[in-house]
Chain A
């Protein structure tokens, strides 16, 4: 109850630190989502409609990668971006860019695997039509993505949810640096370790409200668009 009151107080007083952290969380996760979607949606679709040896195995791997622990992703990205790692020369470690890369790596298999399932179902229905119309390859991928856009929003939301709620990877590659790489989840971890459990819980509440708002917004837009289309 105290946590709810504290969360409310933080929001209505427009607490500057809170909004800085919140804004960084949103920015990092949205950019990670955009990068991931550009890769994962076509990948998932392509895997659903293209026949080649080893396809089933690729899908299996993709599904398994959905369960990849964020801390492992964080560690891999850390070793990659570390000054002594292969991409160390770019100086990206302990920056928001590092967190974006980690989150994008984390959610790409999730969006790809989920969209793969959606498109596969659609493919059963459309295969013959598309074939007879000669729609193949890249054009088919685009056609499926456009046609399934409403169903795919759920896949995208799942990816976003995972990205914004994730702490294990971003704390390793971002370093939880105040005013630079501190996001909602790492701030919650820090306040918990300081024993400020009420503040930690109130930050959690704010994050939950944010997630609710974003989901409501996306689903609202989807419903509206779908209604207009079939009206």
Chain B
């Protein structure tokens, strides 16, 4: 059996290449096509080959804690900071931001479009007895959504399975579910713009500071995980944070719209003005 495993290992030993790294990533950056745009530019600039494993932020961080990745690119700041504080990450930097939006059927049965703030949006959804599809998967988006319910002093779990639908899936899968059921969904703007199955759903609420979405980048700590390709991970991180990388992020567009806004220079502020 051991020989067999070794044989397979030799047949496909692709991972030992010097300039190859694995990035544990959130799904929105992949589903929106950002990596397909960025990675060829990176490859040309630095020669680093990046392999993306796109899972939810929660799973990405757990995988990185088991040393199954050289870098993290996720969006849940407090968890990221804990990750670094516990020694799993070398450091954390702001990379870029965009925002979350609330989408729902055009008819807007809960009339959320006229709300003053996010609290009111959630309250109106509950009062109208409308459906809300949640990720329910401990991802960055899910954590954000839970924090908004908490801020609105509503416990959606009491309606779990009735009007509060926790799909336990990625953003795209949750959008497929939400759109089909005519439910409201909180999604990051990038995934929504690139999403191809919108049917009659549309953005109903947006542009409030509470919906800010910060992405961070963390090289995994080589002291904790000796297998980490420290050099290549550092190269990729610094490229992303460099003027070239930041400009590349800013120039990525889908249907004429910019999806991610680079902000590597801003490592203090987390309440940037939204358009």
Contact with A along B168-199 (1 / 0, CB 8 A): 01111101100000000000000000111110
Is B170 a contact of A92 with CB atoms below 8 Å? no
> A85, A180, A190: which contacts B14 (Cβ < 8 A)?
A180
CB contact under 8 A between A83 and B225, given known A101-B5, A193-B176: yes
Interchain nearest-CB distance for A91 vs B (Å): 5
- CB neighbours (8 Å) of A58 from chain B are none
- CB neighbours (8 Å) of A94 from chain B are 15, 22, 51, 53, 68
Q: Which residues in window 10-43 of B have CB below 8 A to A?
A: 11-16, 22, 27, 30-31, 35-36
Residue of B with least CB distance to A28: B12
> A83, A87, A192, A195: which contacts B227 (Cβ < 8 A)?
A83
Is B54 a contact of A195 with CB atoms below 8 Å? no
- CB neighbours (8 Å) of B16 from chain A are 91
| Docked CA distance A90–B5 (Å) | 9
| Docked CA distance A153–B49 (Å) | 41
Interchain nearest-CB distance for A75 vs B (Å): 12
> B14, B66, B173: which contacts A95 (Cβ < 8 A)?
B14
Question: Residue among B12, B22, B27, B170 with the most chain A CB within 10 A?
Answer: B12
- CB neighbours (8 Å) of B27 from chain A are 193
Q: Which residues in window 31-77 of B have CB below 8 A to A?
A: 31, 35-36, 51-54, 63, 66-68
Is A196 a contact of B196 with CB atoms below 8 Å? yes
| Docked CA distance A6–B53 (Å) | 27
- CB neighbours (8 Å) of B227 from chain A are 83, 88, 91
Is B8 a contact of A100 with CB atoms below 8 Å? yes
A-B contact count (CB 8 A): 95
| Docked CA distance A178–B225 (Å) | 24
Residue of B with least CB distance to A81: B68
Is B173 a contact of A193 with CB atoms below 8 Å? yes
Interchain nearest-CB distance for B186 vs A (Å): 17
Query: A215 within 8 Å of B by Cβ?
Result: no
Query: A97 within 8 Å of B by Cβ?
Result: yes
Query: A82 within 8 Å of B by Cβ?
Result: yes
Interchain nearest-CB distance for A110 vs B (Å): 19
Is A195 a contact of B12 with CB atoms below 8 Å? no
| Docked CA distance A153–B110 (Å) | 58
Interchain nearest-CB distance for B2 vs A (Å): 10
Is B176 a contact of A192 with CB atoms below 8 Å? yes
Binding site for A on B (CB under 8 A): 4-5, 8-9, 11-16, 22, 27, 30-31, 35-36, 51-54, 63, 66-68, 169-173, 175-176, 194-198, 225, 227
Binding site for B on A (CB under 8 A): 31, 35, 82-85, 87-88, 90-97, 100-101, 175-178, 180, 190, 192-197
A-B contact pairs, 19 of them (CB 8 A): A83-B66, A83-B67, A90-B5, A91-B9, A91-B15, A91-B16, A92-B8, A93-B68, A94-B51, A95-B12, A95-B13, A96-B14, A177-B51, A178-B35, A193-B170, A193-B172, A193-B176, A194-B172, A195-B175
